Chains A and B, each alone.
Chain A
């Protein structure tokens, strides 16, 4: 037996979650991130954990890690000097993208400059047709010219993305072999190997994002492995993936496309496990940090997946835990426009200078400052005392807003929270409307440094009945990594009418995918326990331009049960779009396969049972709904399963503060979660 350690690196803090396999206890820690010296925060944190909890590195049996290094490489534009080889006459694929602009009302709206600018795109004379047949074979001279071009622009790596290569990758491999022979110093990434799906822009941009981040990600992961090894950790480092699973860090060095949304996804995995624990049929996770709020929908304890999630300004099209980012966080700045209207964000004080109350030079009022003025924050240290609170500075900053609004400082602070929450309401409303979900039926699972601060307000705005605050809300992403499966996705485009003639290609396709999956999990991941496979297919009605990922039973594939497949699709279409056309022709576009292996799951010790009722450590005044209230302060460490309390209350713990408004009542459940229920 030993310890399992999950680590998640964010912009400001690096979070640790430590699970003791013997006692079932869970410990947490936050240390400051070290963007200047990646890996250093892990060393610091491990030393701190040894000091605090007596965990020796060699006793660590399992280590998972979420990192934003990939996303940051894109946002900061610090990736490889990347080149792209496309089919000749289609070199503008990244420039043209899908045409649509981010803000269609703005004459100045533009697309982001591609990660591979047009001077580093080279056309290859070749052509494969839609059925996979060769129209024009690869002209090796054109490849050599392209290689000369790469050298002339100082290219470090080449993405090869040719038309219809999802169907026949022979030309991409041919081009790669020429590059390897002529220019062995260049890294080569084949788009058909990253994610072989139809739609050339989506496939190409995904491969370029992967190729762009690859050198830095590989370097980072090597540094991490070294740091762990130096610290005496023997367990192999695992990396959390965008699909909510994990893979070895070693594989992550080459399969970068899979780990771009590493930390974000594992937060949702953590929230999903909380939802399974509380039995919430539908939930929304709310992860609020300094500059943004990430929300995700969890149905039946399962995160929802999407494609086209944004990495900086670019969509990637591999399966990803679907997370919507809202530009409002604890550091969002309040201001008053020229017409006297109060606005919050999109500008943020971030972590530096941070909110005024941090006393690090911030002078403009933020959401966090508003909560300080209202009396909810500043009652205890935040972030393991990494931040010292200065309530008087928050008041000063808020006074400037109060003057413009001609109201008291407290009223202005509440106005800031109301406006901020209404902005979040707008974005969340769009998310649930898009999916046809009634927000009143959702449990709100709040985490991140500022999630539990704002959750009651948002729940009220959305008419949600229940807020859940996990035991370790400040480090839920690190926690999510600990419980994630080893997981990978596979895809093949077949693009056929769903009829008898599709059965054989379907069976063959799934057979190939299953073989790939076994190679990945057994050989590449070295995972020898039981594995599970989940086949599905992207299906649509003829004439539609979008597909539904339809889960399939293995027996339907084996027996060629077209009726069962079609029936499932019709039902799903009905469920998602509220209508189905059972007489219409159906197309099966892509076959998908998910493979998972479950590492032994941690058995968490139940929360201690309450003996007697909860007594507030003290009472303080808080202001909300236009009046002063007396709020109980409870320390989370003192709360045990079965404890009940009423809002207004403030619950403090090392990694965050939970604000409970009047009108909410709370109870600690058996797993130690705070369940806050809105009274009518």
Chain B
């Protein structure tokens, strides 16, 4: 570090203030309600190399602390004072990670030289493409996800590049909103530039130039100190999304975390091939890509909230990102719904780190949940209404000290709901219930946070309901140290009637008057042994309606009595339960859906699949994975067993997987040609 540390602390506050004032300027002047409601935007200051040294924490998305603009900065040939550049192309430099995110950057000059950049992005409601809002799980190519602008100057020396703007606006569904929001971004850039000049005036150019590097070093030093306290080792963790495409198979994300002293390596080998749906994560193989760093930053910040947030934190990490996988897809894989996969990826990172510090980290949060939208006609006015009615999130994981937060929290903490009264005033639906789901939190010494649920009744025919990010209908949020998994998400049409239909993880349906939709997120995982939970807390949960009387006994071994619990009977019952346990309790509890799945698709079998697919050309992998899964399902069904007809069991040494692969190879000679070619 070059400048004195007192000045550095003062500079740090000024840099934060600059980033915050950019964020407030953007938030205040943005046109679209989407930006105001979701705060899905960022602002920041980067070095001339693109490393983010200051970021706001009061406002904006929490995902982009580690963002590095270097690649896109370098894609512009030369900069003049007054230039502002933009891109929303996920495949140009990988700063932008899905097309609705319009990233902008502006060089800040001092005496003719660039001293830093001011940067930021806004998630536009729509950038054109196949579907309104530009994002759908069903899309498979980035071309379907709207117009893409590769890095280009939207302002040259302070003058708008009107041709570029006209092309963009001609391709989007609500051009006035995009234009209004772009102006807000430019206002934020200009605020940032002015604040940088003020800082240079106050601190002097040398102190500023050195100081911003020191701020990165400072965050790095803090992060290194946090990592150093974690036990060295290799920690493997994997989790799944329900499906890799509509009517597809589970989609696996895998990580081997290697903690070595003050640094970590994130090796994502074992993650599924890139998919024919829009949940690919476009990292471009960058080892400190922002999408990979989100989970890491959550962990490090949670271990010590004094951590100064900037991309210096990411310097402790490196990654291994196999080509053609969901974590490093090839162009033109669709990426619009990477929100869902990044949420799951964060959970995978949490799952690796919790093994290194189970006494300092929580179990798995519910990690988001569907964002519900309704598109219908209001009978009262005859007007079409398209509105978001809120995120259905779940709670935080139980942690070493407390129960998880209920209904939201952890990595969903930034989301805000819409009041029931506002929803009913704006959208012609009747909400029958909105609240927490009893028994949804994973039991534990410290219980997982409860899921949120909403039930509503349609009032008009052909009411379209979308549930973006719907997942966790098959694989639960996991618990640790004998803490149990949270409940699955629940999406049901007309519950409790003879027209009841389980909707699983579908993300779109059309309903009619009188139809009732029940949507609930998954619950979070528990931490520690539920049989060790303070009985008073279980009684309290029962009184609060968070745990049913039945679950108090079946899951917590609590014998309820008059106005409290029967102490002697509880001690007895808990002792019996402990005695009846099998040896070799595992560190994680994954819930039934995953445990059943992994009877077949255990670690060994999946490793073999990963190895075989890695040797397959990228454009074949998704297809081959599906054929192998179908063949394995055939074995389970007892119909198409490979080498031992009649025995409907899959061997766990990978041999059946290899055999299935061979069969696929045999069935598709084109594949053999592709593999061998």
Contact = CB atoms under 8 A, between A and B. Distances in A.
Q: Do A and B come from one complex?
A: yes
Interface of A: 89-93, 95-96, 98-101, 103-111, 117-119, 129-130, 135, 163-164, 166, 198-202, 337-343, 405, 415, 418-419, 422-423, 425-426, 429-430, 433-436, 463, 495, 543-546, 576-579, 581
A437 B299 CA distance: 36
B6 A405 contact: yes
Nearest to A543: B33
A105 B301 contact: yes
B345 interface: no
Nearest to A96: B407
Given A106-B305, A419-B9, A422-B13, 15 more contacts: A92-B435, A105-B57, A105-B302, A107-B399, A109-B410, A118-B546, A198-B421, A198-B425, A200-B419, A425-B13, A426-B20, A430-B24, A433-B21, A436-B25, A581-B176
A89 B297 CA distance: 37
Given A99-B393, A430-B24, A578-B187, A422 B420 contact: no
B17 A426 contact: yes
A95 B13 contact: no
A418 B417 contact: no
A415 B9 CA distance: 10
B62 A104 contact: yes
A96 B5 contact: no
B406 interface: yes
Contact of A107 (B20, B187, B411): B411
A166 B419 CA distance: 14
B362 A107 contact: yes
Given A90-B434, A433-B20, A545-B37, A343 B9 contact: yes
23 contacts: A89-B433, A90-B433, A91-B435, A95-B435, A96-B407, A99-B391, A103-B305, A105-B301, A105-B302, A105-B309, A119-B544, A202-B419, A342-B5, A425-B17, A429-B20, A433-B24, A434-B24, A435-B28, A436-B28, A544-B33, A545-B422, A577-B29, A581-B31
Interface residues of B, number: 85
B36 A423 contact: no
Contacts of B221: 339
A108 B365 CA distance: 10
Interface of B: 5-6, 8-10, 13-14, 16-17, 20-21, 24-25, 28-29, 31, 33, 36-37, 57-58, 62, 65, 176, 180, 183, 187, 191, 198, 218, 221-222, 225, 297-299, 301-302, 305-306, 309, 350, 361-362, 365, 391, 393, 396-397, 399, 401-402, 405-422, 424-425, 430, 432-436, 452, 455, 540, 543-546
A341 B219 CA distance: 11
Contacts of A419: 6, 9-10, 13
A109 B20 contact: no
A107 B5 contact: no
Contacts of B406: 92, 95-96
A376 to B, nearest CB: 19
Nearest to B221: A339
B49 to A, nearest CB: 23
A98 B301 CA distance: 24
B408 A101 contact: yes
A425 B9 CA distance: 12
Contacts of B397: 107
A545 B33 contact: yes
Nearest to A117: B544
Given A107-B365, A129-B430, A544-B36, A101 B57 contact: no
Nearest to A338: B225
Contacts of A164: 421, 424
Contacts of A163: 420-421
Given A118-B545, A342-B5, A342-B6, A105 B433 contact: no
Contacts of A340: 5
Nearest to B219: A339
B435 A96 contact: yes
Nearest to A340: B5
B452 A577 contact: no
B9 A110 contact: no
Contacts of B31: 579, 581
Contacts of B546: 118
Contacts of B365: 107
Nearest to A411: B6
A578 B37 CA distance: 18
A463 B361 CA distance: 44
Nearest to B183: A579
A93 B455 CA distance: 15
Contacts of B180: 579
A135 B430 CA distance: 11
A92 B451 CA distance: 12
Contact of A129 (B10, B36, B62, B424): B424
A96 B422 CA distance: 16
B37 A433 contact: no
B413 A100 contact: yes
Contacts of B408: 96, 99-101
Given A199-B419, A434-B28, A436-B28, A107 B302 contact: yes
Nearest to B180: A579
A544 B30 CA distance: 12
Contacts of B393: 99
> In the complex, which of the residues A198, A339, A545 has the most CB atoms of chain B within 10 Å of its own CB atom?
A339
Contacts of A423: 13
Nearest to B298: A107
B419 A89 contact: no
A430 B405 contact: no
Nearest to B414: A104
B58 to A, nearest CB: 6
Contacts of B218: 339, 341
A96 B450 CA distance: 10
A577 B36 CA distance: 12
B29 A578 contact: yes
A19 to B, nearest CB: 40
A14 B344 CA distance: 55
B185 to A, nearest CB: 13
B302 A579 contact: no
A609 B557 CA distance: 82
A483 B168 CA distance: 57
B37 A96 contact: no
Contacts of B409: 101, 107, 109-110
B416 A100 contact: yes
Given A90-B434, A107-B411, A98 B416 contact: yes
10 tightest CB-CB pairs across the interface, nearest first? A92-B435, A101-B413, A433-B21, A433-B24, A118-B544, A119-B543, A429-B17, A422-B13, A89-B433, A104-B414
Given A119-B543, A163-B421, A434-B24, A105 B435 contact: no
Contacts of A104: 62, 413-414
A98 B17 CA distance: 26
Nearest to B29: A578
Given A110-B402, A576-B28, A578-B28, A405 B5 contact: yes
A89 B422 contact: no
A252 to B, nearest CB: 29
Contacts of B57: 105
A618 to B, nearest CB: 31
B306 A337 contact: yes
Chain A CB within 10 Å, residue with most, of B16, B58, B187, B409: B409
Contacts of A129: 424, 430
Contacts of A135: 430
Nearest to A424: B13
B405 A109 contact: yes
B29 A106 contact: no
Contact of B9 (A89, A98, A130, A422): A422
